[in-house]
A = this chain, B = another copy of it.
Amino acid sequence: MEVKTKKKRYDDDLLELTNISKALSHPLRLYILKRLSKMNACCYSGDLVDELGVGRSTLSQHLKELKYAGLIQGEIEAPYIKYCINRENWALAQKLYKELFNL
């Protein structure tokens, strides 16, 4: 009798790296990360709207995804929200890519 093979279970590091990669897989999000990852850089949502020429709600959605992936964090600086890299998780991402590429 044919045995329907069971689906592979992936380990946590691999799943984490797929999530991070998904976060990096849109030009707008990657642009933001590159911009913020520079030494001590932060920015406001409004700045990026002008810089990128994208709808406010669209940008907000992408920022939310980056936040959800843990790569950035927002700090309220009323009436703005200041976004910066989440250094802890950025270092984790760095580690995972390093492992992938044997750096």
* A79 adjacent to chain B (CB < 8 Å): no
Cβ of A2 under 8 Å from chain B: no
At the interface, yes or no: A57 with Cβ under 8 Å from chain B?
Answer: no
Interface contact A7-B54, CB-CB below 8 Å: yes
- The answer to whether B24 touches A21 (Cβ under 8 A) is yes
Interface residues of A, count at CB 8 A:
37
Q: How far is the CA of A37 from the CA of B5 in the complex (A)?
A: 25
> Which single residue of chain B is at the shortest CB-CB distance from A4?
B53
A100 to B7, CA, bound (A): 34
A102 proximity list for chain B (CB < 8 A)? 37
How far does the Cβ of A85 sit from chain B's closest Cβ, in whole Å? Answer: 11
Chosen A-B contacts, 30 in total, with CB atoms closer than 8 Å, are A5-B49, A5-B53, A7-B54, A8-B28, A8-B31, A8-B52, A8-B54, A10-B31, A14-B30, A14-B31, A14-B34, A17-B30, A18-B25, A18-B26, A18-B30, A21-B21, A21-B30, A22-B25, A24-B25, A24-B100, A33-B100, A37-B101, A37-B102, A90-B101, A93-B101, A94-B101, A94-B103, A97-B97, A97-B101, A103-B103
